[in-house]
Amino acid sequence: MADKRYTTEFFLTAAEVNSQREMPLSRLVTTIIDTATAHANKLGIGFDRMISEGISWVLSRLTIDIAESPSVNRTYRMTTWIENVNRLFSDRNFEMTDAETGRIVIRAHSTWMAVNMSTRRPGDLTPIWKGFDMVDGAPSGIDNGGKLLPLSGSDFEMSYRFAVSDIDVNRHVTTRRYIDLITDLWPLETYDSMRISRFEVAFKHEARYGETATASRMAHAESPETATAQIAVADTPCCIARLHFSER
């Protein structure tokens, strides 16, 4: 039987980090997605197997608790496992440890949907799970986060037109570009004094080449270190995020 838990190890080089000598949020999110993809491939439930059933994995919701920001010239281990699965959704969890200290630096929870590739409507995960006994059942250990609602106002917004370098193999905007646009809603000085300690994102709609997006943010009245951010094309939100900043 395939391993219920899957682990990859990586060394964070100077070329990969941001001005604060830390792993950029967009890279953390893509590492989470890549680790999920590698594990799914190993279990035989990767994109190839999905396509033979006419369905595809789509990341719908991701919540990350960042206890320590991963920093330059250190080795980290990312472990993932499947918490549960039903006909429409699968929950997958992540734990990232500092390889030297053994401390858990990040915990994350993700929800993946099956999408029918012809209709672009929700697909059925039942066929790929039949005969498999791979679900670990262990929860993420974090609060998976409440519903993310579209912004109704904003403290700050900016406009961006999706260009060639933002487009992936499916002709949609990459996750990296969404996350970088959200990161860029705050000035460099914010990141010098604060760090993102929690990040939640819901993917709602796929944007395409040449569309102009509005990226906006609004701090929460009751807790100003928490904010909602949104990338929208016309009036359609493509993704909605909630960020919590902590003092360094």
Interacting residues toward its own copies by CB under 8 A: 13-15, 17-19, 21, 24, 26, 30, 33-34, 37, 47, 72, 163-165, 167-169, 171, 180-181, 183-184, 186-188, 191, 209-210
Q: Which is nearer to its own copies, 132 or 160 (CB)?
A: 160
* Residue 4: how many other CB atoms lie within 10 Å: 15
Query: Which lies closer to its own copies via its Cβ, residue 68 or residue 211?
Result: 211
Q: Which residues lie across from 75 on neighbouring strands?
A: 11
Strands lying side by side in the sheet with 156-161: 5-11, 75-85, 89-98, 104-116, 55-66, 194-203, 236-247, 223-233, 212-220, 156-161
Is residue 203 a contact partner of residue 140, using CB atoms and an 8 Å limit? no
Quote the DSSP letter at residue 192: H
| C-alpha pair distances (Å), 45 with each of 4, 42, 54 | 13, 8, 13
Q: How far is the CB of 179 from its own copies (least distance, A)?
A: 8
Instruction: Rank residues 83 and 180 by Cβ distance to its own copies and give the closer one.
Output: 180
For residue 36, the minimal CB distance to its own copies (Å) is: 11
Closer Cβ to its own copies, 172 or 204, answer by number: 172
CA distance 55 to 59: 13
Beta carbon nearer to its own copies, 1 or 169? 169
SS3 state of residue 138:
coil
If DSSP codes are grouped into helix, strand and coil, which group holds residue 199?
Answer: strand
Q: How far is the CB of 248 from its own copies (least distance, A)?
A: 15
Q: Which of 200, 210, 223 is nearest to 32 (CA)?
A: 200
- For its own copies, the closer CB: 113 or 179: 179
Q: Write down the least CB distance from residue 1 to its own copies, Å.
A: 26
- Least distance from C-beta 37 to its own copies, angstroms? 7
Provide the minimum distance between the beta carbon of 171 and its own copies in the complex, in angstroms, as a whole number. Answer: 5
Best CA proximity match to 74, nearest among 91, 99, 95: 99
